[in-house]
Structure 1
Amino acid sequence: MTARIPDAHTYLPEIQELAGTMVRAIGNGSVPPATTSLVYLRAGQLVGSTYQVLRHTADLRGAGESEERIASVATWRDAPCFTAAEQAALALTDAVFRPDARGGVRVPDALYAEVAEHYDDKARATLMLVLASAGFWMSVALINRPAYAPA
């Protein structure tokens, strides 16, 4: 399968600039890179993007993450291999990418307070950008359907 728009950068060269800006902002050191990759992987699972799941699984493997942790992202709530901070970030990811069937608040105060127990203001702002970035890239992947080619 080939991407629907094989070289979107030709039409929107600003995508590279935007991507670089997001990567620099997210990589500010306030959230561990492993947590960022876990969040991207979980978001990819929730929106059903094979491209994003494969890409972030490869990123995690490349960073030395265990197969147990990578495989357990799909069932993170009862997996013992995640820290409390990682669980809070994954819970936030679920809240943002999986709507409450009852129509409740997507990110309730209790969840935000749980995240705040583990992340300071800068890290929470960074997680917010990680999730916004994930939403952006998930949309691009779902619409354009790029082929995944491992590095």
Structure 2
Amino acid sequence: MKKRIDFNVVQPKAYDAMDALDRYVNESSIGKLHKELIKIKASQLNGCAYCVDAHTADAQKLGESLQRIFLISAWRESGNIFTEAERLLFQITEEITLISQHGLSEATYEQAIAIFGEEKTAEIIMSVVTINSWNRIGVATQLRPLKRVQH
């Protein structure tokens, strides 16, 4: 496979702008694990293997179980494995990632405001927007997961 462009090298200003969005998300009030769950779910939907790999590893470092990581792709069918807030994060992530289908529904938006409030809902939306942007860069440039040492 032919190597594609490295945005950090070819378009450093664009990469810096994306990095600034990442810093915003990292400084938000969303819990670290919830940020990783959003990133994993969006990356699964977008088919970004590089990001799925990176963020599942990050979630594990935060103490997330393999069972829950494996079940993110089937969160609706997973019973009570995920909290109400986590299920809502997945719903928001799906609706924004697949925005051309119907957008962020009124029901999901209202539930987010009720559970998270306006400030945190805005942060969640920006978190989803940011990982979707990274996913599009990763898929367009065909980034591949890093090989990790197996134990």
Please, what TM-score do these two structures have when normalized by structure 1? Answer: 0.86
Matched residue count = 147
The structure whose residues are more often helix, as a share, is 2
Q: Which runs of 4+ in 1 moved over 4 A?
A: none
Percent of matched pairs sharing the same residue: 23
- Residue 71 of structure 1 and its aligned partner are, at CA, apart by 0.7
Cross-structure match for 2:140? 143
Which runs of 5 or more residues in structure 2 are unaligned?
A: none
- Residue 149 of structure 1 and its aligned partner are, at CA, apart by 1.8
1:128 and 2:112 equivalent? no
Which amino acid in 2 is paired with 1:25? Answer: Y
| Whole-angstrom distance in 1 between the partners of 2:140 and 2:26 | 26
Q: Judge conservation of contact 1:2–1:146 (CA < 8 Å) in 2.
A: no
Cross-structure match for 2:85? 85
| 2:106 maps to which of 104, 109, 112 | 109
Cross-structure match for 1:52? 51
Q: Secondary structure at the match of 1:135?
A: helix
1:95 and 2:95 equivalent? yes
- Residue 29 of structure 1 and its aligned partner are, at CA, apart by 4.0
Q: Judge conservation of contact 1:2–1:145 (CA < 8 Å) in 2.
A: no
| Whole-angstrom distance in 2 between the partners of 1:131 and 1:90 | 10
- Residue 19 of structure 1 and its aligned partner are, at CA, apart by 3.4
| Whole-angstrom distance in 2 between the partners of 1:42 and 1:12 | 27
Q: Secondary structure at the match of 1:119?
A: helix
